[in-house]
Structure 1
């Protein structure tokens, strides 16, 4: 792929990211994307065979950057494991207070494609959510939490619930409330794991 061809594709994806996220995928046409990118509609079709193909690429382009941002928030947060989990929610609350924030692009796309479960973009979104869940479960298990997988799923439910509720009420405080609930869940599991570990040590010493 030549530099010129690659640049055109990047411009299309950049335009799609801005417009699909801001306005929704159904409200934005390929004509709109072409105009925003400063290219012809024919060029869009050269790189993407259909709008569905572009929607899939749009979500795929958000996958790793979003996951990297979650990891950054987690790693840079002060405190123990419960604090690091709560920090993700706190950062989402901060983002949600920005006037250009429109929620989770993956969830919003899934809502628009709810009657098309086999759509390629639905698969991209599902894979993204599962990657986050598995990453968080690994973090929990690295810290010695026995129920890491179940705990991770509970946190994901709180996270996606916060995304949805903020859009309904336009109130970012819901993310912080969900973060406190997540903190409590993690603290409970940390205590339970510590108690199990102490009990095993006592049994071994008798």
Structure 2
């Protein structure tokens, strides 16, 4: 793709991001995305062959920024790993108190596409969650945790569970409670004898 076409593509993805996250992918038409991007539908279809491709691009654009934000919150927090992981939950709770917060875009999209497991957006969402899990696993492995993958998955379940409950109740304190549980769980695991590295 030529450089001159990249800004147009980015405008479309930005418009899709704003609309899909706010309204949901099924409620938003391609015409609405094109209008918000200030383009014709024909121009949009020049860059994306279908709405499915556009939905996939929307999620792909959220992938690295979201992961980078989690790592930033983790690294900027003083202290050990338990508190650093809890900080991710605390910062998400702060975000959840914003009136425009609509939960996790990856989970919401997967719910809307639950009857389409082969959809490219489902694969992107699954890959995003796996990247977060892998980062946690590597972090816990560095701490000498015996089963870092199990702990990473437990934290991921707390995180995604809190996304769902906060969205349901509109009460961000559930996310803070999940963060406290994550911290306690990690502290408990770290108190156990560490495995020896061969």
Fold-level similarity (TM above 0.5): yes
How far is 1:154 from its partner? 0.2
Match of 2:4 in 1: 4
Match of 2:44 in 1: 44
Match of 2:53 in 1: 53
How far is 1:147 from its partner? 1.6
Matches within 5 A, 1:78-93: 78-93=78-93
Say if 1:147 and 1:189, in contact at 8 Å, map to a contact too: no
Structure 2 Cα separation of the partners of residues 33 and 169 of structure 1: 29
TM-score if structure 1 supplies the norm length? 0.93
Partner SS, residue 100 of structure 1: coil
- RMSD after superposition: 1.1
Partner SS, residue 87 of structure 1: helix
Q: Which runs of 5+ in 2 are unaligned?
A: none
Match of 1:134 in 2: 134
How far is 1:4 from its partner? 3.3
TM-score if structure 2 supplies the norm length? 0.96
Cα deviation digits, residues 62-115 of structure 1 (max 9, x gap)? 111111111111111111111011111001000000111110000000000001
Match of 1:13 in 2: 13
Cα deviation digits, residues 129-149 of structure 1 (max 9, x gap)? 001001100000011111211
How far is 1:6 from its partner? 1.2
The answer to whether the aligner puts 1:101 opposite 2:101 as a matched pair is yes
Structure 1 Cα separation of the partners of residues 80 and 173 of structure 2: 22
Cα deviation digits, residues 118-172 of structure 1 (max 9, x gap)? 1110000000000100110000001111121100000000000000000100000
Say if 1:12 and 1:37, in contact at 8 Å, map to a contact too: yes
Structure 1 residue runs of 4+, over 6 Å off?
Answer: none
Partner SS, residue 193 of structure 1: coil
Give the number of equivalent residue pairs: 196
Say if 1:34 and 1:41, in contact at 8 Å, map to a contact too: yes
Match of 1:180 in 2: 180
Moved more, 3-12 or 91-100: 3-12
Partner SS, residue 133 of structure 2: helix
Structure 1 Cα separation of the partners of residues 14 and 100 of structure 2: 16
Structure 1 Cα separation of the partners of residues 193 and 124 of structure 2: 34
Matches within 5 A, 1:53-202: 53-194=53-194
Partner SS, residue 163 of structure 2: helix
